[in-house]
Chains A and B, each alone.
Chain A
Amino acid sequence: MSEAKNREEVIQSLNEVVAEMHDRMLKGTPPTMTLPVRAKTNIEFNQRLGVYKYGKKQTIRDASSLGSARQLLRALHVIEFIEEMIDSEKSSTLREMYYISEGWGLGKFENQNGSNNLAEDLEIVTKCMREDFKLRPEEDGARMIGNVTIEERNRRGEWMTINCRDDVGDSGYGLPYNVEPEKIRLIDEDVDYIMAIETGGMFDRLVENGFDEDSRCALIHLKGQPARSTRRMIKRMSEAWNKPVMVFADCDPWSFRIFASIAYGAIKTAHISEYLATTGAEYLGITADDIEAYDLPSDKLTPKDIEALKAELSDPRFSTGAWQDQINMMLENGKKAEQQSLAKYGLDYVTDEYLPQKLAEFGLGG
């Protein structure tokens, strides 16, 4: 599916969705739309791809209830909108589509979450990507600093060569929303590994301390839950250049999910996991053990945290012994900690002590 589809193929797959509805109506039965269940109960590990994908559970959206009927009508509006964009060679952001839907009368969305989700639904049933639909997210990708060289095709259609250490300022190279080969080419590198960092504060700390050069790595700021383009870029670099990926995040249930979305795929985008997930990514820290071992300042788990941790215990992506131990340990100690709590020992502690020690466990940074 990572192959971009041509116009006709995209329109053909969209029309199949419409045809399902129409065929049912011809038979005198309420129209339907069939799609996989998008919940943790329906993600399965795909041995061949090494990532988590949706399983076989399907839900049938049936126009017998008002809510489902509305969804079907909305889907038809979105399909019409996409086909028009394909025809006129335009594209729009998901947000723009949401605003345009205001004019769709009975088929309008209540909020942007609704329209985003429906776009994903269509990706899933048609096995297309939203890029095929000419839809793009408004959130930009992450920032990157390190000795790697890429080519980006700019608005004028020209290829620019950029070294992500020498040609950028302190804020690094900003990833565009589309990082596919037609937009970005990977040219050259001189790093040993890629380090993905959750918080901006820690990213800036490592940049200021010159960690990318000292430790010969590419630093990528995840900005919380990483955008598709960030995950895609990590995967492309890791695969093309055969580099390990280290994830450095806070120690709390949400950070674990960030890691899982990089390493195994996110539940929301499980239909394109093999395309976004970097199967070999490792969780560097901060671990529950680190809180004790480094005696880090910590916060108490909130009821929400506890609920999230418990949900992770039954999440197939965290079913390995190591993760189960980590999560149980957190629940037992009732503590969580931020990356920046390392500053307790001074600003250089993270680059001088903590990271080298942790990286050594993976045979890196030496």
Chain B
Amino acid sequence: MARRATSTMKQASISEFFEKNKHFLGYDSVQRSIITAVKEAIDNSLDACEEHRILPTISIELRRIPNKSDRILMIAQDNGPGIPAKSIEKVFGSLLFGSRFHTIRQTRGQQGIGITGVVMYSQLTTGKTTHVVSKIAKDATALKMDIGLDTKKNAAIVSNRERIHGFVDHNGLPVEHGLRIEAPMKAKFQRGKKSVGQYLRMTAIVNPHATIRFHAYNEDNELIDSFVSERVTDRLPRPVREIKPHPHGIEIGSLNRLLRDSSERNMRGFLRHTFSGIPMRAMKEILQRSDIDQKIAPGEVSPEASQQILTSFSEVRLMPPPTDCLSPIEDLLIKKGLEKGVDSAFVSTLTRAPSVANGNPFQVEVGLIYGNADVSAEGPIEVLRFANRVPLMYQQGGCLLTKGIESVSWKGYGLDHPGGKGLPKGAATILVHLASTNVQFTSEAKEAVAENEVVMTEIRKALQEIGRHLKNHKKKSAQKAKTKEKFELVNEILPAIATKASNLLGRSEPDLGPIITKIMNAVFCEDEVVWDKEAKVHRCEIKIHNYSARPRAYSILAQYPEKEGVEIIENDLGGKREVRGIWCWKLDTISPNEEGVIRFALKGLAHNEWNSTEVFFRGAGDIIGASKIDEEILIEIQKEEERALEVVKEQASMIAEDAMESDQDNSGDLDQRELEDAMEGVLGDAIPQKLPEEVMDTHDLDNSGTLDQNEVETAILESTEPKEWKFDQYEESGE
């Protein structure tokens, strides 16, 4: 489609196309143009680094050009792979040379028209060329050139092309590989919600693996705005993979085109290899329902029959598309990103499990900062929207991500939400990130996500959950404050009153014990989680103070982040695992004015992964600071655990069954080729991490060289562990 657009455009003037469409290309105002230019540059840098597994360090500079009040020089430099000499002209000189038009995967570079648009805008508004310096690791020198556009031919006009030494980074150190772009343009510098600074700040939050430097100078070369956001993780985003289309996302037009262009010999192969999610049995059923022979060539399918196929897509049972093609930021990293620069506020983040809407895998991530000093307490909360790690700055009101926030009843979670309509109010920030292989926008400008019920439901669920976190946090802090007050009262104020009163009257001091029990008349729980830097463990201490008049006996339950690789240690009291994520101890009877203490530690978590526990109890009366355990919730958690296990089992058995169906020689065993074919047909490349050989190696228990159904099932169950991703080095040579 894009290819055709290019060829039609070539006939008209390419600059005319630009002029006509500048509103959705992002160049419709001077304020917005500079953001778009920065965005094209930084998105490319992040994408290129990600593809080449480089930890990005990106520097953006804006410099007001002296004596030209409306011009700014944008300088963008990265430590990415650089661009091989022979591609530079194409990248900067021809519109729509991008690499992303035909693949189904999650990428940033979906908006705008790429870096050529920047060159074009620069040239149209200043008449000047764009200066490019590129160095790839293989070459000893960097290549620099000035690039202009021949708008009639859609080609670059290159001048001053030259190999140079001394290409350095912001520290003055030689650059091993990287790219620098200097483009003058008509632009206006500003601060605030819709500014380059905000765009970069937002970019930094969702790219915690990147170091981003921003500096803006006025025409006297004085610094007027800047920030440096250091990376908080060395973990690069999970590499994204291309996936085959899923039948549920296909329209009749595309289906016909796919049929027409297919190189598969027969329909059996067409259905199995063009799409993801069609198991063998479904393939057969689809063809049966559509009354099509398995052997017929795709090109011979009649329009009526293809309509039939489309209908049966929605009737037969399919596998969902693979979702590991998505690259979520993951809640801990969002948290780190959000926590940067905000003090003593409450931050909660959440990454939902991937889901599917109309055959497109997607995943929702949310974050909330409560008590953010940078946001006014009177106005609406601050909203940070992202699609595939790209900040969305415009059309906030019309965006599904915003509507998702508005649809939650925040009042119940402790935010001010007048009338339950619009955005909640207060010094809070809510972040919503939608990762998807196909983000649907409301318009070409790609600034607002379009309505979609399935996505909306996921957003709501995610927000409701962090809402619950907030509510718990507020409840807990209120209780903590109350407990602290009571403790101050009986431990400090009351003794002071007793001493002073006795001194004034010259009498002896009264015994405070009975007074304290009367004042407190309750059992209190204090809990604390601290990170032991040296030992790299989290230590948790739970204290139950009995300030009531009778002895008390309880079972205490505490929540902890249970997951693989996390181990409970230094747990002298023992106890037992109650359900997933909850441990239970039995405490000895605590006499009045005594306390019971539980101590344990967790090994295997990162520093930020745990900072507070929730304490529950079984027993009579109330404990301030802990909740009575709801046995039904325990049962619910238990059931959910079992259900989750069953889903995994069911999917595995579906794959296994599929594999068995592919057992073409009917031997009851699969040979390696059959297995390979079977697994690819169902999941696309969902299980690339382990090659079929490896699966065979580790699971062919009877050493027959083939797998029976049981073996296949376990093989697939265990093969979902991700494996280190390898990438091919940039293969192109320099010149």
Residues of A within 8 A of B (CB): 15, 18-19, 21-22, 25-26, 28-31, 63-66, 69-70, 72-73, 76-77, 79-80, 83, 105-107
Q: A22-B502, A29-B518 are in contact. Are A76 and B489 (CB under 8 A)?
A: no
Chain A residues, CB < 8 A from B493: 63, 66, 69-70, 73, 106
The listed residue (A22, A30, A106) touching B501 by CB distance below 8 A is A22
Chain B residues, CB < 8 A from A73: 493, 496-497, 500
Instruction: Give 25 CB contacts A-B under 8 Å.
Output: A19-B505, A21-B497, A22-B505, A25-B510, A25-B512, A26-B510, A28-B510, A28-B511, A28-B514, A28-B518, A31-B501, A63-B494, A63-B497, A64-B518, A66-B486, A66-B488, A69-B497, A72-B497, A73-B497, A73-B500, A76-B501, A80-B504, A106-B493, A106-B496, A107-B496
Chain A residues, CB < 8 A from B514: 28
Q: Check if B498 is an interface residue, CB within 8 A of chain A.
A: yes
Q: Mark B515-537, 1 if CB is under 8 A from A, else 0.
A: 10011000000000000000000
Shortest CB distance B216–A (Å):
45
Chain B residues, CB < 8 A from A65: 489
Chain A residues, CB < 8 A from B500: 73, 76-77, 80, 107
Number of A-B contacts (CB under 8 A): 71
Shortest CB distance A55–B (Å):
29
A84 to B519, CA, bound (A): 32
Shortest CB distance A234–B (Å):
38
Chain A residues, CB < 8 A from B511: 28
Shortest CB distance A84–B (Å):
11
Contact A69 B515 (CB under 8 A): no
Contact B519 A64 (CB under 8 A): yes
Shortest CB distance A141–B (Å):
33
Chain B residues, CB < 8 A from A106: 492-493, 496
A10 to B504, CA, bound (A): 14
Contact A76 B497 (CB under 8 A): yes
Contact B497 A15 (CB under 8 A): no
Chain B residues, CB < 8 A from A76: 497, 500-501, 504
> Which chain B residue shows the least CB distance to A26?
B510
A83 to B506, CA, bound (A): 14
Chain A residues, CB < 8 A from B488: 66
> Which chain A residue shows the least CB distance to B504?
A18
A69 to B488, CA, bound (A): 10
A72 to B496, CA, bound (A): 10
Shortest CB distance A290–B (Å):
42
The dominant DSSP class at the B interface is helix
- Contact residues, B519-572 vs A (CB, 8 A): 519
Contact A21 B494 (CB under 8 A): no
Q: Check if B507 is an interface residue, CB within 8 A of chain A.
A: yes
Chain A residues, CB < 8 A from B139: none
> Which chain B residue shows the least CB distance to A65?
B489
A82 to B486, CA, bound (A): 30
Residues of B within 8 A of A (CB): 485-486, 488-489, 492-494, 496-498, 500-502, 504-505, 507, 510-512, 514-515, 518-519
The listed residue (B485, B492, B497) touching A31 by CB distance below 8 A is B497
A130 to B501, CA, bound (A): 21
Chain B residues, CB < 8 A from A29: 515, 518
Contact A21 B518 (CB under 8 A): no
Chain B residues, CB < 8 A from A79: 504
Shortest CB distance B497–A (Å):
5
A18 to B499, CA, bound (A): 11
Q: A15-B504, A19-B505 are in contact. Are A66 and B489 (CB under 8 A)?
A: yes
Other than A21-B497, A69-B494, A106-B492, give 6 A-B pairs with Cβ distance below 8 A. Answer: A25-B512, A30-B515, A69-B497, A80-B504, A83-B504, A106-B493
The listed residue (B498, B504, B515) touching A28 by CB distance below 8 A is B515
Chain A residues, CB < 8 A from B515: 25, 28-30
Chain B residues, CB < 8 A from A21: 497, 501
Shortest CB distance B694–A (Å):
65
Contact A25 B498 (CB under 8 A): yes
> Which chain A residue shows the least CB distance to B499?
A76
A107 to B514, CA, bound (A): 23
> Which chain B residue shows the least CB distance to A19?
B505
Shortest CB distance A5–B (Å):
18
A238 to B511, CA, bound (A): 55
> Which chain B residue shows the least CB distance to A11?
B504
Chain A residues, CB < 8 A from B504: 15, 18, 76, 79-80, 83
Chain A residues, CB < 8 A from B510: 22, 25-26, 28
Chain A residues, CB < 8 A from B512: 25
A69 to B489, CA, bound (A): 7
Those 10 A-B pairs whose CB atoms lie nearest each other, nearest first:
A28-B514, A25-B510, A76-B500, A69-B493, A66-B485, A22-B501, A66-B489, A18-B504, A21-B501, A64-B519
A15 to B501, CA, bound (A): 9
Shortest CB distance A239–B (Å):
38
A70 to B494, CA, bound (A): 9
Chain B residues, CB < 8 A from A18: 501, 504-505
Chain B residues, CB < 8 A from A30: 494, 515, 518-519
Chain A residues, CB < 8 A from B496: 73, 105-107
A22 to B489, CA, bound (A): 17
A29 to B494, CA, bound (A): 11
A65 to B521, CA, bound (A): 12
Contact A22 B494 (CB under 8 A): no
Q: A22-B510, A69-B494 are in contact. Are A63 and B501 (CB under 8 A)?
A: no
